Every structure is written in C-alpha cells, then in structure tokens.
Amino acid sequence: MIILKGVTKQYGGLAAVQDVSLMIPNESIYGIVGRRRAGKSTLLSIMSLLESPDAGEVYYGINGDERVDILCGERLRMKRRKTGMIFQKGNLFESRNASGNISYPLEVAGMTKKQIARRVDELLEIVHLQDKRTARLRELSDGQKQRVAIARALAGSPEILFCDETASALDPQTAESILELIRDIHDRFRLTVVLVAHQIGLIQSICDDIMVFDEGRIVEVGTVQQLFAPPKTSKERVYA
Ligand SMILES: Nc1ncnc2c1ncn2[C@@H]1O[C@H](COP(=O)(O)OP(=O)(O)OP(=O)(O)O)[C@@H](O)[C@H]1O
Ligand SMILES: [Mg+2]
C-alpha cells in the first residue's frame, strides 16, 4: 500500500504538488492521468522516494503504516530497492548494450558476475528480449527500449513498479503490447503498479483505479466506470 497525506512540493514559487492525499491499495494497478505540467512526475518522484516532499507524509507497507518519507542513508536505500522506476525520459545508457543496461542496478547492488548473468537472463525472458541480449540501444525500436527499461526496473525484484509515461510516445499497437506486458508482470509477480499517462484512454483498460491530476491537485479519483459516468457537477473534465 502507498499512502500520501497532505503532500506538497514547491519549485521556487511554483507549487508542483499541492496538499495531495491518496491511498493506493496493495497489488493494484493505479493510474495517474493529467495534462502536461500537471505535476505527475513530481508526484511520482515523491511516491518513489526519489524526492522528499516539502510538507506531508508518505507511507508504505501492507497496512500502510510504515512512514518512509523521513528515512535516510542505508534505510532509505534499502526501501528504494523495493521499488522500480521507469523514467519518463528513458534514462538508459547509450554506451551499454541491452543486457548492460539491465545489469547496471545489479552491479551497483554488488552482485557477482555469475549472479548478474543469471538474473539478466531471467529479466530478458520476462520482457521477451532474449534475442536482443547484446544489441546496442540504437539497434532497438522504441518499444524494445521500453522493454529494456522495464527489465532494469524489475532487476531488484521490487514490490512497487512506477511507470512514468511508459507507453505514451509509442504507436498504438506497441503501446498496447507494453501495457499488456506491464499487466502480465503485475499478475505474475503480484506487484503494486503506478502508471502515469497524459491520456486516460491509453491506460484505462489495465487500471483498477484512476486519479485525475491537474495543477498539482487531485481533480477526481475512481474506477474507470465511475470516471466515465455522467459528471456530478458541471465541472469540465480535463482528461477527456
Ligand atoms: N526539478 C525541477 N525544478 C524546477 N521546476 C520543476 C522541476 N520539476 C518539475 N518542475 C515544474 O513543476 C511542474 C510540474 O512538472 P512535472 O514534470 O511534475 O509535470 P508532469 O505532469 O510530469 O508534466 P509532463 O506531462 O510534461 O511530463 C512544471 O511546471 C515543471 O516545470
Ligand atoms: Mg512528467
């Protein structure tokens, strides 16, 4: 479970995230949808413990009772290892081939060469890239690069997977195959998945709950069915 209580993050005079409280159930697929600059990536970086909020609290754990935003040093590093992140900007190393990218977090974690080789084989199988083990990044399609990013995010066997616009820049068919892969991984490893997208249409088929986010605030939260029901107010929907 992930719980945010009153989380706020400012950049200079700009409040990128303003007093956000939410609860993400264990093993669910939770969508965060909003237009450009809504603050989605900032929110994700706070949830994933890459950034600290200026105010508010973040909790993990089966019962959501483990406060994690105040951790530091080795305890923070250990907690971060339970999370995997697929960054919006890719963040893959051009200088490394597919398996070199996937092995990076395992090298940082100090695993032996033999352990790393075995784990990279497993990860390549999970993302269906067994035949691309030694491929340079420039030889891979955008969808294949996202598969490498997914494999790298899974390297440390995380309990939570954060995906920032992982399928957004892909053609519809490739986007669908990436989302299918994320759903399969969720089902197989019983992960909690948080998916960020700027269009609800892209991710609605795989999300249990969706939160609509705009100008750093939650606009609406619900199941896909609830969000597509006739609006209770005359407020214009920002994600249609
Ligand atoms: N490190 C930073 N320093 C200063 N301002 C930042 C920083 N990160 C984000 N911002 C600002 O905070 C606001 C929210 O940005 P954020 O990247 O979280 O939005 P987003 O919803 O992910 O946008 P996009 O859909 O373009 O990815 C923007 O106005 C952005 O310029
Ligand atoms: Mg973003």
Residue the block writes with tokens 């993990």: 60
Q: Which of 80, 96, 84, 87 is nearest to 126 (CA)?
A: 84
Q: Compute the mean pLDDT over every residue in the chain, rounded to the nearest whole number.
A: 93
Say if residue 147's pLDDT is above 50: yes
Say if residue 55's pLDDT is above 70: yes
Which pTM value belongs to this model? 0.93
Q: Report pLDDT digits (tens) over 113-131.
A: 999 999 999 999 999 999 9
Say if residue 85's pLDDT is above 90: yes
Domains of the chain: 1-82+162-240 (3.40.50.300), 91-157 (no CATH)
Overall average pLDDT of the 81-98 stretch: 92
User: Rounded distance, CA 14 to CA 193, Å?
Assistant: 28
pLDDT score recorded for residue 240 = 46
Q: Which atom of ligand 1 is nearest to the CA of 43?
A: 18
Ion ligand 2, residues whose Cβ is below 5 A away: 40-41, 88
Overall average pLDDT of the 197-209 stretch: 92
Percent of the chain with pLDDT over 70: 95
**Residue to mutate, 42, 91, 165, 196, ligand 1, most ligand atoms under 8 Å from C-beta:** 42
36 lines ligand 1 (CB under 6 A): yes
8 lines ligand 1 (CB under 6 A): no
Say if residue 239's pLDDT is above 80: no
DSSP 3-state of 78: helix
User: Rounded distance, CA 137 to CA 147, Å?
Assistant: 11
